[in-house]
A and B are shown apart, each in its own frame.
Chain A
Amino acid sequence: MSKNDIKVALIGNPNTGKTSLFNQLTGLNQKVGNYPGITVDKKEGKSKLSETQNAIITDLPGTYSINPTSIDESIVLKTLLKKDIKESPDVILVVADVENLKRNLLLFSQIKDLEIPTVLAINMVDQMSRKGISIDLSLLKEELNTEVVLISARKNEGINDVKEAIIRCHVAAKASPLCGINHQIDPDYFDKLKEISPNFSMYELWLMVTQNNYPEEISSEEKQKLLDFKKDITKLKKYQHKETIYRYQEINKILKKTYIVDKSKAKDLRSKLDRFFTHKVFGYVFFVILLLVIFQSIFDWASIPMDFIDAMFAEIADFTKDNLPEGVLTDLLTEGIIPGIGGVIIFIPQIAILFLFIAILEETGYMSRVVFLMDKIMRRFGMNGKSIIPLISGTACAIPAIMATRTISSWKERLITILVTPFTTCSARLPVYAILIALVIPDKKVFGFLNLQGLVLLALYALGFASAVLAAYILHKTLDVKSKSFFVVEMPNYKLPSIKNVFYEVVEKTKAFVFGAGKIILALSIVLWFLASNGGEKYNNAEKYVTENFVNQGLSDDEIQQKIASVKLENSYIGVLGKSIEPVIKPLGYDWKIGIALITSFAAREVFVGTLATIYSVEADDEDTTTIKQKMSSEINPETGNKRFNFPVGMSLMVFYAFAMQCMATLAIVKRETKSWKWPLIQLFGLALLAYVSSFITYQILS
């Protein structure tokens, strides 16, 4: 960043299109969606304003005012109160929704009073004619005493005007308060406040008092004086109310002259759709059918490309083996890396379909209706209607889901939501479930149209939700945390999903999944392969041992080779390690090879399949390379002579993965969001115990 770059902060009500504008200005692809609270953290990007001028743009969470009631909103206040030259914004770009300009201007008026240069971008002007809105732009500029631009971030209109306005505003460095609340409410009181420090504007000092947020630059003496103002808390509260009323009065005066809505021209789709989606019967029925459709399609649509990818990787491994000279490196490629990577790539179709559905749901505005439908129910379990968003988006990944809890203002409800979110079936579990279901559940239709495998998958998702809710209930009854529950949610307009947004969302998330898991599996498969193809004395003497012991049993050459391979694997380093934990997992129905996969998937669940693929490849008799599914289904349990992955083992494994907290990244995020090691550790050990006990019961009952 160079010294001349203008620092611009994007501020505005939730869901007004700040991130859409940010993406247009910077060329980045940050997540956009149609419900309040998509952005919950700061994000910076660079933008070229003109040939000679660059800017650093900061995207921020949405907020209705600078009086925060939740973590995401307080990030905005902190940014605004910064006095540090390096960090404090030079220009504030307020993004407002044209449809609800009045409410959006409240925040604008507060920011103006901080006396920072401000540009007002009125977004979504593409909606103006449909809603019968017209604006007198030049008069509005004059009345607000600020640069005002009309834009449509989604249609990429007016972006250059924004850039020019930022430059003009920065050069003029003109900043004057809009409302000047002091004279209207209690001049003496506010004059006394202003005298405390010459370095801050009156409104900044007022915010410090009301928000209990004191920047470093304030001296302890000054702080003491500010604290005196807090003594009369009723007066403070009353003045805050008065301030808000006064601001609205001023805004109304201005809008009366400049903003006209012709109601007769407005088309109202919202109320019709709402009548259906929030209906007491159809609302829930629709929600359930929607979920059913999603899980059916994950299985039905994805199976063709998945089988194709699976076969392709087998071909690639074959091809590599045939064409590269024999040796250690070729072995590493064909037995370690290729099957390992294949174990991740194969799941792209399913993951992408899941992400596609989530992205569409988020873009239509339906999510907020689910929040509305679910609040009462969620409250019984110690959560909040808003908790449903992490629980749904947690089906993609728990990490952004846990971040999304920042919009929940009550700490207890937020903590409970964070703790139970890992129960929801994230996309990393999907690979494990998918392969196990394909192995142990017959592919047939029930009732003529429902795919049984899809139903089992749905049941596993239901198990996840049910345990999340149950765990929440237990926490609700046992956690001794006091905090007030409060709930206001804005219901956004319904929108047709923007194809571009949905596309990027699916691509970005799928990419993150593949590369995230890919990196781990690449590293792990090399290590695994090494540990599986080396060993101690017994490993090296395997051939001798087998020929000596089995020579008289009339085995064919092939069988002898196979025998040698398995004795080798058993005595390799990884084999010894796996064998040592076998007694612990045997009651769950697992052998040591599955045990190895359990250990590696503590880093990330999705490496389970890749790990098994690598292990089985090392052991496999070298001639034919088979697909992952064939490898797993032909694995025999030597004790019974039956398939290793039979029904009880498959079910027990699925139950294990449903509960176990096998994700380092989630633990790290929980640590960050709860600011202590206590909660992630409780999660880790509590869930491990739960997983073990439930799998044990499952296996023992079924076998």
Chain B
Amino acid sequence: MARIIAGVASSHVPAIGAAIDNKQTEEPYWKRVFSGFETSKEWMRQTKPDVCIVVYNDHASAFSVEIVPTFALGCAAEFPPADEGWGPRPVPVVKGHPELASHIAQSVILDEFDITVVNKMTVDHGLTVPMNLLFGSPAAWPCPVIPLAVNVVLYPPPTGHRCFMLGRAIRKAVESYPDDLRVVIFGTGGMSHQISGPRAGLINSKFDKAFLDNLTKDPQKLARIPHLEYMREAGAEGIEMVMWLIMRGALDDKVDEVYRFYTVPASNTAVGHIILENRAKGAKPAGKRKAAPAKLKRAAARAKVERVHS
């Protein structure tokens, strides 16, 4: 059976992509941002997922205002990088996993999530920037990717609760897939930012920190945040953070936070990043494995967190 082993959340600021493409990653401004992902890249090298599901949003690239799907699942064999007006980013074509993707579509629709199936789609910085941050800039992406595009541009986006529940449905779908696949799910976008109107430049680090804390320990609380609160507290475009809740909903209730990074700013935006692992990671499917004493596991998790933070 396939399993979701971990979740990753990361901002997807377009300027980060531009900094990579223009080879500015060593400049002090950008080094501050990229250095926060060194540990994450190492974690990803060790974790070696078989498939990644990347929850992101399109920014008027693949979808305009002609068609606005709330949840669009990419079931194609490949997804070329979108031309966002300056030519496509020089990143590899994203290879899909059509079998698992269509399995997920079939499962979540019967679970009452009426998603849109997309068999032809380009992917913009919303997907490719987090890929760069976690995988670097390889000649080919190391694993297939299933894009899940969420509308967060046209108000209202799906509620945080709906996103969280979709995450649960995705987990159920993955776990009913017959092949042994280790899956990592990404939630992208955020954190606090506003790029439109006279209030542009808004950053709320207190909100962001509380969001990161609760993402680990009390995601149900986050699932109750109304849209108004995201926009008021975290900026009009900060509402993107609902996408992180799809990732979180796909994980266990109790997870280990193995890494976190936060910095302000990247262009107009607060950059937030977190890695959460399901505790069954690397073990045999539940039932066959001997459960480790909970206390021991918690201590191990604490040690791990301290290590990456120091």
Q: Do A and B bind each other?
A: no
Q: Which residues of A contact B (CB under 8 A)?
A: none
Q: Which residues of B contact A (CB under 8 A)?
A: none
